[in-house]
Amino acid sequence: MPHYTDSNSFIELSDSLPVIDVRSPGEYVQGHISGAINLPLFNNEERAAIGTLYVQSGRELAVQQGLELVGRKFGRLIEEAGQLVPGKEMLLHCWRGGMRSESLAWFFEKLDYKVTLLEGGYKAYRRFIRQQFSKPAKIVLIGGMTGCGKTELLHRIAGFGKQTIDLEALANHRGSSFGHLGQDKQPTSEQFENELFAAWNSINPAKPLWLEHESKQIGNIFMPDPFYEAMLNGILFKVHLPESIRIERLVKEYSGFDKSLLEEILVHLKQGMGTLQSKLAIEALYRDDFETVAALTLHYFDKTYENALKKRPVRVMHDIVLESADMELNAARILEFVKIKKMKYEY
């Protein structure tokens, strides 16, 4: 008989053993354990057909149909398992820890694999990780107006040995209206949560965790409520950088994209920027005057950021005025500021 383990132990074991997800490809894309490998027992169409049969004709016929479909796939499953699990020891799960995972575990154990099943399946895993985001954490945020280099500052701070999580990298989005440009397709909010948990679970809770100050929504994904509330309960270091440096950074970052893509975004921003400002920005775009485009959009984004900060303020905020375009130097100054202020925690 296969061995069952709870979500916490399953996650710990996944550091050293392959995780095999036997759900359909559609279920896997919607959300899966970080690093899990999809070895579907049924494809999307087969799963839907069996589900319909279960509703219309009952469990017995659905199980019979499922067994017939699986029987045709034994050869493929053996071949793929040999490639995915060379050590012949695996973690395996389906949606609720039911027939799909149990039947495959039985099959693989007959082939001398050692299989550990996830008790309650992926559904239990999702319930478990949501609870983990409520654990106490010492969160430090890097914030500021668009163009302040918050993401680069975060990376530089990581270079000084501090714990960080790059939320925008997990979301495949830079956070602004232009943030999708040059990025891969965004994950689902569910998968973002799974990847965020994997990063969250690897940190030392006794030490501060540095994050970029984000809104609850990054592109099309949403952060889990308890995690976002933990962010708002942290400490925000709000960076102030001269507008000239911010404009220079934005021009460098976005001027290489196709003008039609940039125009589409500027048209979309018309309601927030105002019709005239949007028109002037588009005209500047086609004159290759990217500095003017950046300056006009900055005025809109600055107001948006300040309004958002007023609506959802962070518990503690400190302003830091910087003058340099050197982000390595700026990161060092932020850390020095924290040291001088002798904050409650050792940041």
Q: Is residue 178 situated within a structural domain?
A: yes
Decide which of 130, 151, 180 is a domain's last residue: 130
Per-state percent for the chain, helix, strand, coil, to nearest 5: 55, 15, 35
347 within domain boundaries: no
Q: Which of 130, 165, 182 is the last residue of a domain?
A: 130
The answer as to whether 286 is a domain residue is: yes
How do strand 221-222 and strand 217-218 relate by DSSP bridges?
antiparallel
CATH number for the domain that contains residue 293? 3.40.50.300
Q: Are residues 114 and 143 in the same domain?
A: no
Mean pLDDT (the chain, rounded): 91
Same domain for 148 and 208? yes
- Per the domain annotation, does 346 fall within a domain? no
Write out pLDDT tens, residues 259-273.
Answer: 999 999 999 999 999
Q: Which residues contact 295 (CB under 8 A, 6 or more apart)?
A: 243, 247
Catalytic (active-site) positions: 94
- For 143, list phi and psi in degrees, rounded to 5: -125, -175
Query: Counting Cβ atoms within 10 Å, is residue 73 exposed (0-12), middle (13-18) or buried (19+)?
Result: middle
Residues 231 and 294 in one domain: yes
Give the domain extent around 105. Answer: 3-130
Q: How far apart are CA 347 and CA 344, in angstroms?
A: 9
| Cα dihedral value 207, 213, 218, 221, nearest 10 | 30
Report the pLDDT value the prediction gives residue 76, as an integer from 0 to 100: 82
DSSP 161: T
Report the share of the chain in percent with pLDDT over 90: 76
Q: How far apart are alpha carbons 94 and 102 in whole angstroms?
A: 9
Residue at a domain's end among 113, 130, 147: 130
Same-domain pairing of 197 and 74: no
Residues 224 and 301 in one domain: yes
Q: How many domains does the chain have?
A: 2
Half-sphere exposure for 161 (CA within 13 Å, toward CB):
2
The model's pLDDT over 75-133, given as tens digits with 9 standing for 90+, comes to: 788 888 899 999 999 999 999 988 888 888 988 998 999 999 999 999 999 999 999 99
| Cα 211 to Cα 285: distance, rounded to the nearest angstrom | 33
174-226 pLDDT tens trace: 988 999 999 999 999 999 999 999 999 999 999 999 999 999 999 999 999 99
CATH number at residue 19: 3.40.250.10
331 and 189 share a domain? Answer: yes
